[in-house]
Amino acid sequence: MKNRLIMLEGLPGTGKSTNSFKLYEQLLLNGKKVSWIHEVSQPHPVLFFTESCMTKEEYRKFKIKYSEVAEILDEVAEVRKTTVGIDQEMVSRRSPEAQKQEWYQELLQYDAFPTSLDRYEVQALEKWEAFAKNAVQDEDKVFILDSSFFQYQIFTYLLKAAPYKRLESFVGKITECIKPLNPLLIYLYREHTEDSIAFLKEQRGEQDLVSIWKRDRGEPYYQNKQKDVMAFYDFLKDYATYAKDLFATLKIDKRKIEISKNNWKAYENEMLELLKINREEIPAYKAMEGTFVNAEYGLSFTIKDNVMKDSEGVQRHLFPKSQEEFFVEGIPTILQFFGESSIRICGQQIIPQWTETGTIYTKEG
């Protein structure tokens, strides 16, 4: 394929993850080698969700101060040009009592998300550069990124009330480092931002949007805004304006898809046609049913009629990839059935622990 990096972007609620899943499914069914890096993939190669980030010198001093955990930190640390990233979730799994310890609380002080923009730009660009350098080496693999290129950057810069030109400049730097992957940007949008806001309210409930506003209301963007969820709706309108302007300036392969009619099959077909990929029919297989348990982690999930209820109580449809492998709806996790009653977790793991790659679950009874 010409485009080895496919990036889906749009306002929250425009179907980025849903359509990333369909592309992932169809590319695999077409025999392509694919890695879908979900917005909450863990650890994430270009975003910061549960990551502490230090300079190399800060990391060196931290390990001297807390030598008792230096080995654990080195196991999970991602060393870049001048920075070191440490995924907090991975550290916690290797040291179950970590969150009660002084060293862990200090580690959280280096959390990459609430840092200054000056520090963020160094850390984030190095992360994108490391991703691009690794990705380009696997010449046969296609990468799908959702909500990373526009959404994460716009949220970060807009919340900090940074000038648009600073955002545009930084996105331009990211663009330069991913150009060897011949990126394709697919931007999903509704003609009127108010329609996207109405859709979000209907699908997620207004309380969910209130929660986002409450989470972020201390940020500079909200300082001179009204003190209720209407300020978040203003944020989304500004987001849409920034995204429209960014899209216009980019000099890479790109396509805008207007989704107001919610004709998702047609939008999928448009994307597949753009990628010159034939739609493959999903094979008709039924997954083994029952309750599957991993005793080591104390996790379990159930499967019935090709619907999985995961360990967090979320119901997800299963779609056959083959008689032994099933896609899990909406996430890059694949269930691989083997033996008489076991499942291995494959694909790309996301933050919930049950998705950890390589974990084995065994059927009860």
The whole model's pTM is what? Answer: 0.93
SS (H, E, C) 250-295: CCCEEEEEECCCCCHHHHHHHHHHHCCCCCCCCCCCCCCCEEEEEC
Per-residue pLDDT of the chain (365 residues; tens, 9 = 90+): 899 999 999 999 999 999 999 999 999 999 999 999 999 998 899 999 899 999 999 999 999 999 999 999 999 999 999 999 999 989 998 998 999 999 999 999 999 987 899 999 999 999 999 999 999 999 999 999 999 999 999 999 999 999 999 999 999 999 999 999 999 999 999 999 999 999 999 999 999 999 999 999 999 999 999 999 999 999 999 999 999 999 999 999 999 999 999 899 999 999 999 999 999 999 999 999 999 999 999 999 999 999 999 999 999 999 999 999 999 999 999 999 999 999 999 999 998 999 999 999 999 98
CB 335 within 8 A of CB 326: yes
Beta-sheet pairing, 253-258 with 141-146: unpaired
